[in-house]
């Protein structure tokens, strides 16, 4: 199946989920959330099992881990640099238009922001509970794969339909959230932050391609997860590359973990919305509470919309770039 056909199928399942909500046939939001968690656990268990059960993949664990770490650092660094450059350009354009240096949305106003930047919240177990549970599921699957003799299973057929079901429910969840993507164009921030995050992450992916001598398409597919480790890893594994899928899972999980540590620091910088970009796709859920605590309530629409836009791009860009080879 070609990359374009794969993208269309994924989008069709997401659209179908949204349509079910529009015709008022969707279950309660808490039921949708529970179903998504259960399907994710099943997919990640299978990913871990496949990694542990196949000797050729086990032998590449060191290589996979190094590639994952490099991708996480490069995509984060690229994001921060791109957002800073984008605001500097916007600042210069406004200054030229008005004849003097104008205040730029996303830049730290004189006298501070009035948020909790001076007393950034501590990172507690609640910030790492979700990623830890999913990582544990992968580890359990890996151990189960090690314990059993090598099996000749058609993993693609098994995960393919389950992945389609997952994307159907993700589309349903987006529709239930009530977010309007038109709001992305109300303020400069809500359009600038996700665009710069996307470009910076992909630039980091190109750096990874050069550093690790892998194809640009594969490296861009790794970086295009934007921190959504559970989906990006499964997408790439389902496309026929379980080793790269495992690297994508670990890379995007590492990005989320690094973002949780960096958000309080970035929120104190001259361009505090780099804290939103660091979270990538997770800016709409996992990292949103920390962003709000560090930057204040005004940052919530920007963070949520940025995360939503990037999340919608993941199932499109990952197979698209992977298909480039």
- pLDDT for residue 181 is more than 70: no
How many Å apart are CA 289 and CA 283, to the nearest integer?
Answer: 9
259 against 110, higher pLDDT = 259
Q: What is the pLDDT of residue 111?
A: 33
| Radius of gyration for the chain, computed over Cα atoms and rounded to the nearest angstrom | 20
Q: How confident is the model at residue 144 (pLDDT cuts 50, 70, 90)?
A: very high
- pLDDT for residue 198 is more than 90: yes
Q: Which of 69-78, 121-130, 155-164, 179-188 has the highest mean pLDDT?
A: 69-78
197 against 45, higher pLDDT = 197
Quote the tokens at residue 223: 């970086």
How many Å apart are CA 250 and CA 229, to the nearest integer?
Answer: 7
Q: What is the pLDDT of residue 116?
A: 42
Lowest mean pLDDT among 2-11, 35-44, 52-61, 145-154: 2-11
Q: What is the pLDDT of residue 99?
A: 66
Q: Encode pLDDT of 23-51 as tens digits.
A: 988 889 889 888 878 887 887 788 778 77
How many Å apart are CA 224 and CA 83, to the nearest integer?
Answer: 16
Q: What is the pLDDT of residue 179?
A: 63
Q: What is the pLDDT of residue 131?
A: 66
Q: Encode pLDDT of 147-164 as tens digits.
A: 988 887 766 667 677 777
Q: Tell me, yes or no, if the pTM score tops 0.95.
A: no
- pLDDT for residue 52 is more than 90: no
Residue of 225, 312, 229, 310 lying closest to 276 (CA atoms) = 310
Q: Encode pLDDT of 114-140 as tens digits.
A: 344 444 556 566 656 766 787 788 889
End-to-end CA distance of the chain: 14
Q: Looking at residues 231-235, what average pLDDT do you find?
A: 85
**Which conformational region is residue 226 in: left (phi greater than 0), alpha (psi within -120 to 50 degrees), or beta?**
left
How many Å apart are CA 290 and CA 238, to the nearest integer?
Answer: 33
Q: What is the pLDDT of residue 113?
A: 39
Q: How confident is the model at residue 3 (pLDDT cuts 50, 70, 90)?
A: very low
305 against 88, higher pLDDT = 88
Q: What is the pLDDT of residue 140?
A: 92
């Amino acid at each position: 199946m070609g990359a374009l056909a794969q993208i269309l199928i994924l989008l069709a399942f997401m659209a179908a989920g949204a349509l079910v909500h529009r015709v008022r046939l969707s279950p309660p939001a808490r039921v949708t959330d529970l179903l998504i968690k259960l399907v994710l656990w099943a997919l990640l268990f299978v990913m871990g099992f496949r990694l542990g059960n196949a000797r050729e993949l086990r032998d590449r664990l060191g290589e996979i881990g190094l590639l994952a770490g490099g991708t996480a650092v490069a995509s984060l660094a690229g994001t921060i640099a791109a957002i800073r450059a984008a605001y500097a350009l916007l600042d210069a354009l406004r200054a030229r238009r008005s004849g003097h240096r104008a205040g730029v949305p996303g830049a730290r106003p004189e006298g501070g922001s009035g948020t909790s930047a001076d007393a950034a919240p501590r990172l507690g177990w609640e910030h790492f509970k979700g990623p830890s549970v999913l990582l544990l599921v992968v580890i359990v699957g890996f151990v189960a794969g090690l314990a059993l003799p090598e099996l000749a299973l058609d993993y693609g057929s098994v995960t393919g339909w389950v992945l389609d079901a997952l994307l159907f429910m993700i589309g349903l969840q987006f529709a239930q959230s009530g977010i309007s993507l038109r709001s992305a164009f109300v303020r400069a921030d809500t359009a600038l932050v996700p665009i710069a995050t996307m470009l910076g992450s992909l630039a980091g992916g190109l750096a990874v391609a050069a550093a690790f001598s892998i194809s640009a398409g594969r490296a861009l597919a790794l970086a295009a997860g934007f921190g959504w480790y559970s989906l990006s890893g499964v997408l790439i594994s389902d496309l026929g590359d379980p080793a790269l899928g495992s690297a994508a899972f670990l890379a995007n999980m590492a990005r989320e973990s690094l973002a949780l540590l960096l958000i309080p620091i970035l929120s104190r910088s001259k361009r505090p919305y780099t804290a939103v970009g660091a979270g990538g796709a997770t800016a709409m859920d996992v990292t949103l509470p920390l962003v709000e605590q560090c930057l204040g309530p005004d940052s919530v629409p920007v963070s949520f919309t940025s995360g939503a836009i990037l999340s919608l791009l993941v199932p499109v860009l990952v197979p698209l770039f992977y298909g480039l080879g």
